[in-house]
């Protein structure tokens, strides 16, 4: 299989708006798995033990949230949880304040992640709902770290910006989902290998590359969102059309680090939750600010069919 065919598989067909793509999302899960405490690992295994065979790991369920997307699907309400439509120069809370109530009730990545944290802490919530919230959380941690999942509303986070990416017709959002990873890491992604194997290679590469880099792993959903918004300038730089090798060289390190951050932060969150550690002050403050605008958003952000 040629690399152009690999690009077609991972960009042109399925990934116009589906997060980091199968390799990136699985890598987030693999990095998280490598950093779980024994207690958190046991809790994760227990929650996922009733899932489809071969998906009992964070990496195995990392793309499940995309598989259940779409009109008419049983988790249809979760379609809105994959992104935030943020205007330029707007912080998240002010964004919520000006949002029409109908849109507020649909939710977004930030409230979905906060709600998933809450569900996972609740021993009285049905096991299947807790398992599903974990599966969604693995995926949304990747989404909130992908800059164009909080991209400009007017172009749907780059989905409406067509790009001929190294000879393959696609769009800017899909480039950040998969195109940068696939083209930028030809040296470690073997096209004839299954996605699972390519994800392992990519995750190992990231763990080695960033092993000595410090990551702020507080459960700071607003901070994670702000980091992605900050990267809009890099993502929307029009060298994606005029000088793709330069665009690739500038943006690939950002994508790599965002995937790594997502994995480390997912592990830290699960360790905190499943080790029954006190809720961190930054998460408490975010919960307080969001509920001041939305009320109890757990009434309409949920992880069950």
164-186 per-position pLDDT tens digit: 999 999 999 999 999 999 999 99
The secondary structure element, H or E, covering residue 165 is strand 162-165
Q: What pLDDT band is residue 127 in, cutting at 50, 70 and 90?
A: very high
In the prediction, which pLDDT does 258 show?
Answer: 98
The secondary structure element, H or E, covering residue 171 is strand 168-171
Q: What pLDDT band is residue 264 in, cutting at 50, 70 and 90?
A: very high
Q: Phi-psi region for residue 124, left (φ > 0), alpha (ψ -120 to 50) or beta?
A: alpha
pTM here is 0.93
- Mean pLDDT, to the nearest integer, of 94-101? 92
Q: Which two tokens stand for residue 56?
A: 């009992």
């Amino acid at each position: 299989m040629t690399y152009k065919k690999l690009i077609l598989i991972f960009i042109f067909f399925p990934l116009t708006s589906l997060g980091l793509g199968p390799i990136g999302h699985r890598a987030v899960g693999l990095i998280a798995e490598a950093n779980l405490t024994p207690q958190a690992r046991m809790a994760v295994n227990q929650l996922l033990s009733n899932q489809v065979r071969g998906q009992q790991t964070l990496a195995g369920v990392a793309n499940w949230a995309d598989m259940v997307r779409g009109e008419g699907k049983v988790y249809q309400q979760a379609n809105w949880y994959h992104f935030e439509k943020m205007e330029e120069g707007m912080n998240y809370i002010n964004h919520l304040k000006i949002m029409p109530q109908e849109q507020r009730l649909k939710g977004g990545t930030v409230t979905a992640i906060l709600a998933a944290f809450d569900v996972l802490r609740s021993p009285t919530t049905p096991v299947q709902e807790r398992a599903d919230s974990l599966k969604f959380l693995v995926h949304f941690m990747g989404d909130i770290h992908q800059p164009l999942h909080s991209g400009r509303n007017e172009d749907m986070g780059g989905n409406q910006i067509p790009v001929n990416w190294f000879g393959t017709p696609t769009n800017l959002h899909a480039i950040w989902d998969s195109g940068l990873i696939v083209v930028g890491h030809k040296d470690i992604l073997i096209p004839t290998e299954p996605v699972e194997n390519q994800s392992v290679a990519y995750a190992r590469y990231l763990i080695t590359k960033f092993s000595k880099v410090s990551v702020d792993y507080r459960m700071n959903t607003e901070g994670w969102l702000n980091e992605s918004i900050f990267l809009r300038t890099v993502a929307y730089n029009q060298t994606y059309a005029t000088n793709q090798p330069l665009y690739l060289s500038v943006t690939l390190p950002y994508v790599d680090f965002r995937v790594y951050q997502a994995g480390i932060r997912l592990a830290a969150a699960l360790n905190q939750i499943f080790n029954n550690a006190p809720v961190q002050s930054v998460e408490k403050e975010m919960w307080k600010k969001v509920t001041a605008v939305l009320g109890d958003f757990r009434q309409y952000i949920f992880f069950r069919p």
